[in-house]
Chains A and B, each alone.
Chain A
Amino acid sequence: MCLGVPGKIVARYEVDGLPMGKIDFGGTVREACLAYVPEAGVGDYTVIHVGFAISRLSEEEAQATLEMLREIIQLEEEIGPADGAL
């Protein structure tokens, strides 16, 4: 139950005064409450947890992380694999 899953907002609307939305999880679409991501719009990705969006995913941060890891790998390729040489 404690697994948060990333999904894309494909619709935003209101039910009983609460901001709700349709979330696409790679083909499966479910409803979630968007009250905690007022800044997120259609097309944005959020982490959905027990029917609530708890965080809007940041594309810039995601790219920065992958960049950082790719740099590590390039470094490894340049100086060769680790054989206890360090």
Chain B
Amino acid sequence: MKYVTEYRDAALVKRTIREIERTVTQPWVLMEICGGQTHAIVRHGLDQVLPPEIELVHGPGCPVCVTPLELVDKALAIAAQPGMIFTSYGDMLRVPGTARDLFSVRANGGDVRVVYSPLDAVKIAQANPDKEVVFFAIGFETTAPANAMSVLQAKALGLTNFSVLVSHVCVPPAMHAILGSAHNRVQGFLAAGHVCAVMGYWEYPPLAEKYRTPIVVTGFEPLDIVQGILAAARMLEAGQVGVENAYGRAVTYDGNRAAQAVIAQVFEVRDRKWRGVGMIPLSGWGLRPAFAAFDAKTRFDVGDIQPQESPLCIAGQILQGLRKPHDCPAFGVDCTPEHPLGATMVSAEGACAAYYRYGRHFANLEATHV
């Protein structure tokens, strides 16, 4: 497959890693923002073949991981209502709420459906005019164009039985929060390639300047990732600060203007809580008042919600790059993908799930597969 095969060329990846070895003279901590990158790094064993000077810590860019527990509980309550078709991206079904997950709502007779695209949820609403159809619109800047378009399309079609439960979060405010924290260890960032495909990277130069941190826009194939690491390592070693684009085939400085325009039409900036991390000011999006009729949050009264996180789960620290999954006493013992205690053990992009699946049960495990 074009644009995939050539970026998995093992020889080229190994040579690039050698160049990283040649470049580094001291330890550096890099954070990959995006859970998709975390997954690729662990799956391809890149963490085990990089020189020891490069430590990768895993960022908060896993949408199902950071969707606040209150909202998961709210989704569960809405999904259980009679006359309801609750639609969601597949990863959300196993995410633990306080008492249960969407799978168990479905097992108890709820009509919970997985959709690939939010437009599929709009189609379901068209086909079921006697039912309420709610779409769980979560995600980062990457899913926002799709989620926003589903609202515009429902409006254009005159649908009155479609609404969205919105939990949108944005990457740059999270980078601010991480870099500004007194406990921060991150010295360079691999910025999330597809977030930048939508938003461009014009928001990053002031961040890089303010915190004296190199930021490299990075893709998702092994070669993309080692190339991003190489660019960051070169900047760090040279004492340079700034933003580089190592994913030029998909990302431009301006990003996708058409997508940004639709996002701005439908959403406005809001304070958002991030699961495990807490409130980050102005870090997400909610529906504009003009689209209030499509807001599932106000449309369905589910009474009082008392969210309670598992006391064992340290996912919040993992998402901020402060701990690794195998530092959690519950990892692989009380918490497994079959019985997750936290959302990071659920999604393919969650660090705990990636570490579990690819055998990173202990620190400094010898390379088992590359």
Contact surface of A with B, Cβ cutoff 8 Å:
1-4, 6, 8, 16-18, 25-26, 30, 32-33, 35-38, 45, 47, 49-52, 54-55, 57-59, 61-62, 64-66, 69-70, 72-73, 76, 81-82, 86
* B26 CB to nearest chain A CB (Å): 13
In the complex, chain A residues whose CB is within 8 Å of the CB of B4: 6, 26
* B208 CB to nearest chain A CB (Å): 21
Separation of A81 and B14 alpha carbons in the complex (Å): 12
Separation of A82 and B20 alpha carbons in the complex (Å): 10
Of all A-B residue pairs in the complex, the 3 with the closest CB atoms, nearest first, are: A51-B117, A82-B22, A26-B1
B118 touches A51 (CB 8 A): yes
With A33-B146, A45-B2, A49-B143 already in contact, the answer to whether A54 and B91 are too (CB < 8 A) is no
Q: What are 30 A-to-B residue pairs whose CB atoms are below 8 Å?
A: A1-B139, A1-B143, A2-B34, A2-B140, A2-B142, A2-B194, A3-B348, A4-B36, A4-B220, A6-B2, A8-B2, A16-B156, A25-B1, A33-B119, A47-B197, A47-B250, A50-B139, A50-B143, A51-B146, A52-B149, A54-B198, A55-B194, A58-B249, A61-B248, A62-B249, A65-B246, A72-B15, A73-B15, A76-B22, A82-B21
* B47 CB to nearest chain A CB (Å): 19
Query: B90 at interface (Cβ–Cβ under 8 A)?
Result: yes
* B155 CB to nearest chain A CB (Å): 12
B117 touches A52 (CB 8 A): yes
Residue in contact with A1 in the complex, picked from B193, B198, B347, CB distance below 8 Å: B347
Contacts A36-B256, A57-B249 aside, 15 further interface pairs with beta carbons under 8 A come to: A1-B64, A2-B36, A4-B142, A4-B193, A4-B220, A6-B1, A6-B2, A16-B156, A33-B149, A47-B197, A50-B146, A54-B259, A55-B197, A72-B16, A72-B19
In the complex, chain B residues whose CB is within 8 Å of the CB of A54: 142, 145, 194, 197-198, 256, 259
Query: B63 at interface (Cβ–Cβ under 8 A)?
Result: yes
Scoring A32, A37, A58, A65 by chain B CB atoms within 10 A of each residue's CB, the highest score goes to: A65
B15 touches A76 (CB 8 A): yes
* B44 CB to nearest chain A CB (Å): 14
The residue in chain A whose Cβ has the minimal distance to the Cβ of B51 is: A82
- For window 1-35 of chain B, which residues contact chain A by CB distance below 8 Å? 1-4, 6, 12, 15-16, 18-19, 21-22, 34-35
In the complex, chain B residues whose CB is within 8 Å of the CB of A72: 15-16, 19
In the complex, chain A residues whose CB is within 8 Å of the CB of B63: 1-2
In the complex, chain B residues whose CB is within 8 Å of the CB of A45: 2-3
Separation of A38 and B262 alpha carbons in the complex (Å): 14
| Residue interface bits B139-173, CB-to-A below 8 A is 1, else 0 | 11011011001000100110000000000000000
* B335 CB to nearest chain A CB (Å): 21
A76 touches B146 (CB 8 A): no
| Residue interface bits B192-204, CB-to-A below 8 A is 1, else 0 | 0110011000000
B18 touches A81 (CB 8 A): yes
A62 touches B3 (CB 8 A): yes
Separation of A56 and B262 alpha carbons in the complex (Å): 18
* A45 CB to nearest chain B CB (Å): 6
Query: B223 at interface (Cβ–Cβ under 8 A)?
Result: yes
Separation of A30 and B120 alpha carbons in the complex (Å): 13
B36 touches A17 (CB 8 A): no
A2 touches B256 (CB 8 A): no
With A4-B194, A81-B18 already in contact, the answer to whether A55 and B248 are too (CB < 8 A) is no
